[in-house]
Amino acid sequence: MAESQRPKLFVCTTCRKAGSDPRPDDEPRDGQMLYDAVSERITALGADAPIEVEPVVCFANCDHGCSAGLIQDGKWAYMVGRIGPDEADDLIAYGAAYANSKTGAVLRSGRPDSLRHAIVGRFPAHLAFQTATVKDAAE
């Protein structure tokens, strides 16, 4: 799949896994470890990677543990929560199912077990892309 056509997964690097003890400031947070794990696996997949991954600082979804957002032009965008570094492979599998979905909707039965109840919210992705296009045109 061409890189520009892949869905983008944004992983919050400042998240803490729900129920985890705060780490000292010099240790990476759970969100950073999740991002690192996903990024490492995506890099290893190379051209076969179903998604791209980017870090983001704070989704303001702190009550739901580690969070990630998935977006692709023309599809619903989804935010998942209540995940942690151990779900890196499941997040990539969910991203692959999302990539193969016409609308971005992936039923619970089509998600890995750890993500069956992880959807926190969704929004129409075209709004984000329209805003970016308008901003780019103004610059």
pLDDT tens digits, residue range 77-112? 999 999 989 999 999 999 999 999 999 999 999 999
- Classify 104 as helix, strand or coil: coil
Measured at the alpha carbon of residue 104, what is the angle toward residues 63 and 51, in degrees to the nearest 5?
Answer: 80
Quote the CA–CA distance of 12 and 80 in Å, as a whole number.
Answer: 11
Q: Each residue of 97-122: b (16+ CB within 10 Å) or e?
A: bbbebeebebeeeebeebbeebbbee
Predicted confidence (pLDDT) at residue 20 exceeds the cutoff of 80: no
**Model confidence pLDDT, tens digit, residues 24-43:** 677 788 899 999 999 999 99
Confidence (pLDDT) at 21: 64
Predicted confidence (pLDDT) at residue 134 exceeds the cutoff of 60: no
CB atoms closer than 10 angstroms to residue 34? 29
Task: Quote the pTM value.
Answer: 0.83
Q: Which residue has the tokens 């892949």?
A: 6
For the chain, list the domains and their CATH numbers. 3-138 (3.40.30.10)
Predicted confidence (pLDDT) at residue 19 exceeds the cutoff of 50: yes
